Amino acid sequence: MPVWGVAGPVTTAIALAAMVAGVALGLQAARPWWRLGGSLLGLAGLVLLLSRGAGALLVDAGDLARVSPAAGFWCLLLVFMMLMADALSALRPGPRLRLGLLALFLVGLAALLASGALSELSIMQEYRGRVAGFRTAAARHVALALGSLAAAAAIGFPLGILCHRRARLRSLAIPVLSFLQTIPSLAMFGIMIPVLAWVAATVPGAQEIGIAGIGFAPAFLALLLYSLLPVVANTVAGLDAAPPAAVEAARGMGMTDRQRLWSIELPLALPVILAGLRIVLVQNVGLAVIAGLIGGGGFGTFVFQGLNQTATDLILLGALPTVVLALVSAILMDILVDFARRTPKRESA
Amino acid sequence: MIEIDRITKVYDDTTVVDEVSMTVETGTITVIVGTSGSGKTTLLRMINRLVEPSSGEVRINGEVTRDIPTHLLRRRIGYAIQGHGLFPHHTVARNIAAVPRLLGWPKDKIARRVDELLTLFGMEPAAFRDRYPAELSGGQQQRVGVARALASRPDLLLMDEPFGALDPIIRGRAQEDLRAIQQKLGSTIVLVTHDMEEAIRLGDRVGVMDGGRLVQHGPPEEIVARPANAFVAEMVGDAERPMRLLSLIPVRGLVEPGAAGGDPVPEGASLRDALSACLWTGRDAVPVERGGAVVGRITLDAIRGRVEHRA
């Protein structure tokens, strides 16, 4: 079947025209708004072709037939996404505008998925077969990534503050945490199995609160261990970066250690501390995939099922949401860092 | 009155400050001058107990500082340091309000005090209140730093090289401003510097420190005219001594009747200014004025006699 036969000559022509126009607009180096528009136009053309084409290909093809986008689609998607990213970075939108654009993008994506335009695609059919499983996996994935982040923050902030004040603790803690960071992730998840199995078997009450060799607990613990170094190191670095004269002045004017920490050192360290949390969040969203290997749940479940069955679409069903989740968390955290970096507005003085 | 009584600081085996005693009268400026490593900053920091003395004690109006919890003691003592130490994430108003807030002053009283101080330091409150330190010039930052140290009307103001980061012209103006504000408020100030010029210009009393000891303590004229040892003489600078001495003496005391040509100098000016006027205009005498009216003249001979007499 010729290319234009798949989605019909009119649709194909419109979509191709949109993509060509998108690329043409994308070449306007000096006009970032045009480039942004070009990328959106190109994406629209690409999605139009994808949604119309899938339906046409499946007519009379039997129940077991599946349609997936091939290399050409992914290449074009990459091109237009890079164009969009490049245009956005040239526009330098403020944090509020970025938040708005992100919300717009997510609403658009949700609308596209809900509209059913892509429902003929193989990956969406895999999804339809696993709606309940997908929801559980998504919730578990977020719980693993955010939960380990929260636990790392709860342990890491106080530890970082102590390390900042006591040089000996710092020279002990940072190398240990750095060592943990060098353990390959597969090995780390593997190590957790016998360790927690032993804990579950020997410590009374451990099993009742859900500690076991496989499942959520070892995955959570492994992610937590990976998260500690960025949190502690950035807390120390942020506190160290407070201007020495300001800290000396705070001491000299009679602030107690606690007052100095809360009103001078921590606010000044906040952007660096948040940057550490950003690293941890993005890292954990990615690493949480491996939890699928040890029964920890999350999107990794689909990835490893797909790998075992050589089912590419199942792998994508796990991988694509992970990528979106990582991107969204990275952008959200960047926006937060930006807000913290701006000179704070005057409090009621 | 601040009494420093045989105060000593020993680190390991090194005596950094060695049995220093001095009395600072209320409403005066005492400048402690010395080279780096002389112990002057340690001495200053022992007054507000940023450094705990090894022995000896400090009394503020008779009260022994050792008996007051450090954070409460420090709230009673203003502290201004080199590089101002302003909080970069707080506005000018919030910076100045730092100690009053610690002391729990009511908000309206703090706001009034902030505006009062900004006005005193020649900064329009409406224009500066809400700015951040990074938006100020170096001289303005330094003024806000001093204003912050004065905000709670402290018993005592400690200043550690407060003008060290300023360029020479701004520094001269900042010194004059400090003198004027100190006289207006009647503040008691202990200031540490390595600059003898600054010490002589600002100090009611000057203390010279060397190797942890207070080697001389007295009015600036005495330091310049009768250095206690070779070190003090070197600090004053042999070649500079006559000029330094002249800069300390006002024209007022040497005015004699008679007329002279040229522009008059004010009677409050220093002999150094008068000498400069004589040399520049090539005259042996210049007229002296008080409030715009010429009241007599000052002669080159009188100036010379004053210095020779001293030496």
Residue that finishes a domain, picked among A108, A125, A142: A125
Walking along chain B (311 residues) 10 residues at a time, the average pLDDT comes out as 93 91 94 92 94 94 92 94 89 95 95 94 93 92 93 92 86 88 92 91 93 93 88 82 83 86 86 88 88 87 77 48
Inter-chain residue contact A251 with B50, CB threshold 8 Å: yes
Strands B29-34 and B205-210: parallel
DSSP conformation class of A346: P
Shared domain for A167 and A286, answered yes or no, is yes
Q: Which of A90, A125, A160 is the last residue of a domain?
A: A125
Angstrom distance (rounded) from CA B158 to CA B42? 12
Domain count, chain B: 2
Sign of CA dihedral B252, B258, B259, B262: negative
Which of B238, B270, B293 finishes a domain? B238
What CATH number does the domain containing B269 carry?
3.90.1280.20
Give the CATH number of the domain where residue B185 resides: 3.40.50.300
With 50 as the cut, is the pLDDT of residue A345 above it? no
Q: Tell me, yes or no, whether A228 and A118 share the same domain.
A: no
**Domain endpoint, select from B184, B204, B238:** B238
Place of tokens 């000396």: A248
| CB nearest to A268's CB, from B83, B89, B134 | B89
Closest chain B C-alpha to A172 CA, distance in angstroms: 26
* B92 within some domain: yes
Same domain, B51 and B104: yes
Which is more confident, A189 or B128? B128
Q: Which residues in chain A are closer than 8 Å to B78, comparing Cβ atoms?
A: 253
Q: Distance, in angstroms, between B87 CA and closest chain A CA?
A: 6
Report the residue of chain B nearest A248, measured CA to CA. B85
Instruction: Compute the nearest-CA separation of B190 from chain A (Å).
Output: 14
Handedness of CA A246, A247, A248, A249 (dihedral sign): positive
Angle subtended by helix axes A216-240 and A185-202, to nearest 10: 120
Asked if A245 and B110 come within 8 Å (Cβ–Cβ), the reply is: no
Q: Is the pLDDT of residue A340 over 90?
A: no
A253, A256, A261, A268: which to substitute to probe chain B, counting the most B Cβ within 10 Å?
Answer: A253
B141 lies in some domain: yes
- Tens-digit pLDDT profile for residues B8-39: 999 988 999 999 999 999 999 999 999 888 99
Residue B244 corresponds to which amino acid? Answer: R
pLDDT in the model for residue B102: 94
Same domain, B226 and B143: yes
> Please, what is the angle between helix B300-310 and helix B241-248, to 10°?
110
Residue where a domain terminates, one of B182, B214, B238: B238
Query: Which residue type sits at A189?
Result: F
The DSSP output letter for B244 is H
Nearest to B75 among A254, A264, A347 (CB): A254
Q: Say whether A248 and B85 touch across the interface (CB within 8 A).
A: yes
Q: What is the CATH number of the domain that holds A282?
A: 1.10.3720.10
Pairing of strands B29-34, B189-193: parallel
Closest CA–CA distance from residue A244 to any residue of chain B (Å): 8
Domain of residue A112, residue span: 3-125
Shared domain for A142 and A116, answered yes or no, is no
**pLDDT tens digits, residue range A148-168?**
999 999 999 999 999 998 889
Please indicate, yes or no, if residue A347 is contained in any of the structural domains. no
Count of residues making up chain B = 311
In a domain, A141, yes or no: yes
Q: Within this chain, do residues A219 and A271 fall inside the same structural domain, yes or no?
A: yes
**Confidence band (pLDDT; 50, 70, 90) for A125?**
confident
Query: Domain range holding B12?
Result: 2-238
- Which of B91, B149, B158 is facing A346, going by the closest CB pair? B91
B300 contacts B278 by C-beta, under 8 angstroms: yes
CB contact under 8 A, A249 and B132: no
Of the pLDDT bands very low, low, confident and very high (cuts 50, 70, 90), residue A3 is: low
Q: Are residues B166 and B108 part of one domain?
A: yes
Q: Could you tell me which residues come within 8 angstroms of residue A310 by beta carbon, excluding any fewer than 6 positions away?
A: none
A348 assigned to some structural domain: no
Query: Domain tally for chain A?
Result: 2
Q: Search chain A and give the residue with CA nearest B102.
A: A255
Express each pLDDT in A219-230 by its tens digit.
899 999 999 999
Helix (H) or strand (E) holding B45: helix B40-47
Letter string b/e over residues A137-171, b meaning 16 or more CB atoms within 10 A of that residue's CB = bbebbbebbebbbebbbeebbebbbebbeeeeebe
Q: Please report the DSSP string for A243-262 in residue order.
A: -HHHHHHHHHTT--HHHHII
Residues B222/B203, Cβ–Cβ less than 8 Å: no
- Count CA atoms within 13 Å of residue A95 on its CB side: 12
The residue ranges of DSSP E strands in chain A, in sequence order, are none
